[in-house]
Structure 1
Amino acid sequence: MADDCILETRGLTKEFKGFVAVNNVNLKVRRGTIHALIGPNGAGKTTCFNLLTKFLEPTAGTILFKGEDITREKPSDIARRGVIRSFQISAVFPHLTVLENVRVALQRKLGNSFHFWRSERTLDALNGRALELLESVDLGGFADTVTVELPYGRKRALEIATTLAMDPELMLLDEPTAGMAHEDVDRVTRLIRSVAQGRTVLMVEHNMSVVSGISHTITVLQRGSILAEGPYSEVSRNPQVMEAYMGTAA
């Protein structure tokens, strides 16, 4: 595998009782890029994400991360390698403060489990780094806010901060702008571009203005198979893509 390819799948397939959700997908994600996975509903995007992060086991095929076969590894093993996923539904603790949410993610550095029983003084040692991460996603002024009180777009920014706390080498973002107002979409798009510096991002995203603005490579899925791949300027002119996806996105 080429040195600039951080993630690769070969013949990745997932069947559910005869239904093929992901069909012989050969994906290559280049290091240091933002790679978007798009397609109509039911195309297999989230199933593909679940396979890559080992929440599902593939029926067939191979997954390689930095040239090493990770196909049979557990989700926790994948995370320790630096492959960290955010979820389509905002996955934060609503009744903790914004700072406490990031601090929970940082506790991974203290060992293999979250030490909720550790002394406040021990956990306070994480506050400096937690505040740095919050500043990086424009949440520095919300550190003491109870998370349930945050606007939706800010919660998604917090989710990205907790993902960054895990020191990801490869970030997998599942529809990071879903359900957002226009101003929140713009903010999170800028945020993704910023946090991608020095990292690789693979994201599922429906908003084509987001995809066209920040993605280096786009892979289009249809019925579980790759329909097209390339830069937006190329993919957006593909007649099959226009019929299968672009036309329905208007």
Structure 2
Amino acid sequence: MSVDASASPPVLETRNLTKTFRGFTAVDGVDLQVQEGHIHALIGPNGAGKTTVFNLLTKFLPPTRGEILYRGKPITPLKANQIARLGLVRSFQISAVFAHMSALENVRVALQRPLGTSFHFWKSERTLSPLNARALELLEEVGLAEYADTLTVEMPYGRKRALELATTLALDPDVMLLDEPTQGMGAEDVDRIVALIKRVAKGRTVLMVEHNLSVVSRLCDRITVLARGAVLAEGDYKSVSQDPRVREAYMGSEIGDDEAPSERASA
């Protein structure tokens, strides 16, 4: 799709990334390469280690061993806030929206973070108003301009997820890490979020954990499949979906040759 995986060095890379918990290996020697400009999916059955990998990449957990590199430079020792400042922004890190604030106010809070004033709620409206124009632009980008003055608690679930994406974009991320962006959504909301991710991914790199394989097939340039904490397969959707090991991991060996995982599971 957008970039040949061999054309340039990865923007985000892990080498032998491993995490153990009291003898249990949750992530087992994962080598991951995310290319600039790609939408890259991390998929696998429940318990495969996908969210743990995300937690390691964003330093919510320290790795037991292994290395994380961003643009060729080791970032393994950095803290979560330092990772975010580099431009690696995980959606839920800064997008826990405030239920009793408006959509505009939520985005404006996110815009204050680089200024070091995220929690200056007591500031006057006049002082904060210079951020309104950018907040409205971001709401427009995610299709929520008409909901600018709506309290978040009054918004349907799909639009709350879109608002979370707007707050993520407020940090101007270089690499967006989206943790199951369509989880719990109906078909109409899923279609809306897929279109939205396509739009906001232009000019950015996206690494996403996603259970819905139909979403993955529509969005992603490259897919890494995890099973039992290790990389099981990697490639584009067609090659990965036809890999017997992947089909076995998701559905068992009974699946027919004419059925793709996207039609049978959202594991």
TM value normalised by structure 2: 0.90
Matched with 2:172 is 167
Letter in 2 for 1:183: E
Matched with 2:261 is none
1:157 aligned counterpart, secondary structure: helix
2:28 matched to 1:23?
A: yes
How far does residue 122 in structure 1 lie from its aligned partner after superposition?
1.7
With over 3 angstroms needed to count, the CA separation of the structure-2 counterparts of 1:188 and 1:233, relative to structure 1, is same
- Of 173, 184, 187, which residue of structure 1 is paired with 2:189? 184
Q: Give the distance between the partners of 2:22 and 2:117, measured in 1 at CA.
A: 36
2:86 matched to 1:81?
A: yes
1:126 aligned counterpart, secondary structure: helix
Q: Superposition pairs for residues 99-248 of structure 1, below 5 Å? A: 99-111=104-116, 113-245=118-250
1:30-75 alpha-carbon deviations (Å, 9 max, x no partner): 0001000000000000000000000000000000011111101000
Q: Give the distance between the partners of 1:219 and 1:198, measured in 2 at CA.
A: 21
Letter in 2 for 1:212: S
- The 8 Å contact of residues 212 and 232 in structure 1, kept in 2 or not, is answered as yes
With over 3 angstroms needed to count, the CA separation of the structure-2 counterparts of 1:45 and 1:13, relative to structure 1, is same
Q: Give the distance between the partners of 2:155 and 2:51, measured in 1 at CA.
A: 26
Q: Give the distance between the partners of 1:75 and 1:11, measured in 2 at CA.
A: 20
Letter in 2 for 1:75: A
1:173 aligned counterpart, secondary structure: strand
- The 8 Å contact of residues 46 and 204 in structure 1, kept in 2 or not, is answered as yes
2:197 aligned counterpart, secondary structure: helix
- The 8 Å contact of residues 110 and 118 in structure 2, kept in 1 or not, is answered as no
Q: Give the distance between the partners of 1:110 and 1:125, measured in 2 at CA.
A: 13
Letter in 2 for 1:213: R
- The 8 Å contact of residues 27 and 53 in structure 2, kept in 1 or not, is answered as yes
- The 8 Å contact of residues 236 and 246 in structure 1, kept in 2 or not, is answered as no
How far does residue 111 in structure 1 lie from its aligned partner after superposition?
2.7
Letter in 2 for 1:60: R
Matched with 1:69 is 74
1:23 aligned counterpart, secondary structure: strand
How far does residue 120 in structure 1 lie from its aligned partner after superposition?
1.7
1:91 aligned counterpart, secondary structure: coil
| Aligned residues with identical type, % of pairs | 68
Q: Give the distance between the partners of 1:110 and 1:2, measured in 2 at CA.
A: 36
With over 3 angstroms needed to count, the CA separation of the structure-2 counterparts of 1:187 and 1:42, relative to structure 1, is same
- The 8 Å contact of residues 109 and 118 in structure 2, kept in 1 or not, is answered as no
Q: Give the distance between the partners of 2:87 and 2:49, measured in 1 at CA.
A: 24
Q: Give the distance between the partners of 1:32 and 1:213, measured in 2 at CA.
A: 16
Q: Give the distance between the partners of 1:115 and 1:56, measured in 2 at CA.
A: 29
1:193-223 alpha-carbon deviations (Å, 9 max, x no partner): 1000000000000111100001000000000
TM value normalised by structure 1: 0.96
Q: How many residue pairs get matched?
A: 249
1:5-41 alpha-carbon deviations (Å, 9 max, x no partner): 1000000000000000000000000000100000000
Letter in 1 for 2:73: E
1:123 aligned counterpart, secondary structure: helix
1:5 aligned counterpart, secondary structure: coil
**Unmatched 5+ stretches in structure 1:** none
**Unmatched 5+ stretches in structure 2:** 1-5, 253-263
